[in-house]
């Protein structure tokens, strides 16, 4: 290791991108968290939720980049259900005109219908939990599931990688890979997500969570 933070600038394999956990077979429903050495302005200090990982590549959305445009200005029907900050987040540099929605639902309580099991139109579960997270068809409107929604977040654009590209970046030391938790996509404090996600892993990744934005200033 080249410094006290366990982040190597010359040897990308000096740290474990999985934080000691087994390497997952699929990145779907995982977070890829930018390591301090990643300087791409689209992804520096970003946390990406992987929505799909297949033989064709990887698609995900950046969870911690509020875009400054109110949900009420874009899709007002979803604004009452949007978790603060109720903004259209910048999901990534690809297809910025496309809007992707993630929703966390309240299911299985007091006899409520379970969208995971009953297959609501437009609902695709991603993160399993008593209060699961999944992608939602925004065009259909919130009517069918409005009473079950805990929180919604909308993303303008997405991040994508060709087959094998993200895996290569992970092995080069640009990303950490951790399991997503249900509150991550709708966190009310998205700016603090990078640090929180790493800190809760414990071990070497918790140490990296304290890495300064500008190491030269310390």
Residue 109 has a CB neighbour count (10 Å cut-off) of 10
- How confident is the model over 15-33, as pLDDT tens digits? 689 988 899 999 999 999 9
Query: What CA–CA distance (Å, rounded) separates 85 from 189?
Result: 8
Tell me the backbone φ, ψ of residue 88, rounded to 5 degrees: -80, 115
Q: What is the DSSP letter of 107?
A: -
Which residues on neighbouring strands pair with residue 162, listed in sequence order? 57
* Residue 68 and residue 56 in contact, taking contact as beta carbons nearer than 8 Å: no
Residue with tokens 């010359």: 10
What the block records as the tokens of 194 is 């990078």
At residue 216, the pLDDT reads 59
Find, among 21, 20, 24, 38, the residue nearest to 172 by Cα. 38
- How confident is the model over 125-180, as pLDDT tens digits? 999 998 999 999 999 888 878 888 999 999 999 999 999 999 999 999 999 999 99
Which residues on neighbouring strands pair with residue 124, listed in sequence order? 135
Distance of CA 83 to CAs 79, 128, 153, 157, 161, Å? 9, 19, 6, 19, 28
Domains of the chain, CATH where assigned: 12-213 (3.40.1740.10)
pTM of the model: 0.89
């Amino acid at each position: 290791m080249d410094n006290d933070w366990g982040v190597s600038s010359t040897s990308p394999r000096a740290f474990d991108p999985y934080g000691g956990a087994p390497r997952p077979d699929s990145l779907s429903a995982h977070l890829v968290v930018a390591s301090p050495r990643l300087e791409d302005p689209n992804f520096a200090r970003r946390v990406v939720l992987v929505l799909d990982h297949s033989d064709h590549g990887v698609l995900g959305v950046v969870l911690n980049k509020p875009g400054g445009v109110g949900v009420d200005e874009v899709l007002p029907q979803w604004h009452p259900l949007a978790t603060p900050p109720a903004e259209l987040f910048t999901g990534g540099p690809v297809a910025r005109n496309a809007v992707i929605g993630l929703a966390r639902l309240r299911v299985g309580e007091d006899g409520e219908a379970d969208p995971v099991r009953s297959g609501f139109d437009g609902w695709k579960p991603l993160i399993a939990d008593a209060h699961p997270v999944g992608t939602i068809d925004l065009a259909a409107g919130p009517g069918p599931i409005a009473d079950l929604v805990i929180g919604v977040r909308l993303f303008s654009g997405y991040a994508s990688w060709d087959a094998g590209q993200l895996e290569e970046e992970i092995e080069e030391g640009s990303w950490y890979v951790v399991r997503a938790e249900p509150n991550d996509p709708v966190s009310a404090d998205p700016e603090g997500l990078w640090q929180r996600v790493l800190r809760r892993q414990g071990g070497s990744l918790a140490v990296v969570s304290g890495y300064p934005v500008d190491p030269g200033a310390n």
